[in-house]
Amino acid sequence: MSLDVLAFGAHPDDVEIWCGGLLLKLKDRGYRTGIVDLTVGDMGSHGSPEVRRQELMATASLLNLVG
């Protein structure tokens, strides 16, 4: 599968917060978009890696990302 735009973030939700709107706009214009999170966020103070993954999957669905 090929993508036109691939956004990278250090932690789950970084990309969604910083450029989720841009990814939606690009998606509306026909671009295939995706996100790469470089960590699972296990060192964060809120939530567990499992909770963060559930949030990530929900957000990916809302952003209509290629999975």
At 45 the pLDDT is 64
Residue-wise pLDDT tens digits, 21-41: 999 999 999 999 888 989 877
pLDDT higher than threshold 70 for residue 2: yes
E-assigned strands of the chain? 5-9, 33-37
Instruction: Among 1-5, 13-17, 56-60, name the one with the lowest average pLDDT.
Output: 56-60
CA dihedral 39, 23, 64, 48 (to 10 degrees): 20
Q: Rounded distance, CA 57 to CA 51, Å?
A: 10
Question: Model pTM?
Answer: 0.75
Whole domain around residue 29: which residue ranges?
Answer: 5-63
Q: How many domains does the chain have?
A: 1
Percent of the chain with pLDDT over 90: 31
48 vs 35, more confident: 35
